[in-house]
Amino acid sequence: MELSGKGAIVTGAGTGVGRATALALARAGCSVAVNYSRSKDAAEAVAAEATSHGVEAIAVQADVANDDDCRRLVQVALDTFGRLDVLVNNAGTTSFIPHHDLDAVTAETWQAIMGVNLIGPFQMARAAAAALKDDGGGQIVNVSSVAGVYGTGSSIPYCASKAGLNNLTVTLARVLGPEVQVNTVCPGFIDGSWLQEGFGDAFESIKQSVVKRSLLGAVSTPDDIKDAIFGFLLGSRLTTGELLVVDGGVGRSAW
C-alpha cells in the first residue's frame, strides 16, 4: 500500500508500539488519529510530533471496549482526514497474575481484559469497515502476542484474549475481503515501560532469561514491532488472515 496521502487510526498510540507506529505512518505521509484511553499528554505529544512531518494528526480519547467510543473515533478520523485506509488495533491491557493462581482471576479481570484486547478490535473493525472498503480498499493490522500462540504470558485471561484476537484475524479477513486485508503481529517480550511496570524489580532478570532463549540473542523494542506492522502495510496485496510472530525465535528454541 502507498501510504502517502492516506488516513490511519492507531489505537493505544500514546506510548510504546502505538507511538512508534503512529510516528512512522506520519513520516510516510499518512495522516493519523492517535487514540488514547488515559494517556492524554503523551498522545497529544505524539500527535504534535506527527504534524511536524507535514500531515494531519489528532489525539482522540476513546475506550475501545466501548462501542460508542469506537464509532466516534472512526467518525472523527473521517471528518478530519476525509478517508480511512489503515486501522492498527494496538490498544491492550492485562493483569499480572501467575497462571497457577486460578482464584486470583475474577470475573472483572476477564471482562476488563477481553473488553480491550478482543471485543475492542472487533468493534473498531466493525466501525471502520465501510470506510476501509472505499478508495480501493484498506488494511487492518492487529497487535496480538505470542501469549495467544503459546499460552504463556502475564495471565490466563490475557493469553485467551490474544488467542481470540488471532482467530478474529482470520474470520475478519474472510468477512472483509477482498477490499480489506486483515493481519496480525504477535510480539514476544518487548523491552519497554509496559513490562517494566508489570514485572517491577523482576523485569531485568526476566528479560535476560528471554534473551538467553532467543535464537537471535535479543528481545524486541517497540520499533521492531512497528517494522513488522509495516511489513504488512507495505507488503504483498495478497497477504491476509496471517499471523506473524516477532519474538527472536524464542518460541522455536529448545527449552
Q: Which residues are catalytic?
A: 158
Which residues, in sequence order, are CB contacts of 214 under 8 Å at separation 6+? 247, 248, 249, 250, 253
Query: Cell for 222?
Result: 517497540
Nearest to 246 by CA among 215, 218, 225: 225
16 φψ region: left (φ > 0), alpha (ψ -120 to 50), beta (else): left
- Rounded to whole angstroms, what are the CA distances from 209 to 74, 132, 148, 221, 252? 41, 41, 20, 16, 15
Residue 155 · residue 109 · CB < 8 Å: yes
Most distant CA pair in the chain: distance in Å? 51
Do residues 65 and 82 lie in contact, with contact meaning Cβ atoms separated by under 8 Å?
no
157 closest CA partner among 174, 175, 172, 145: 145
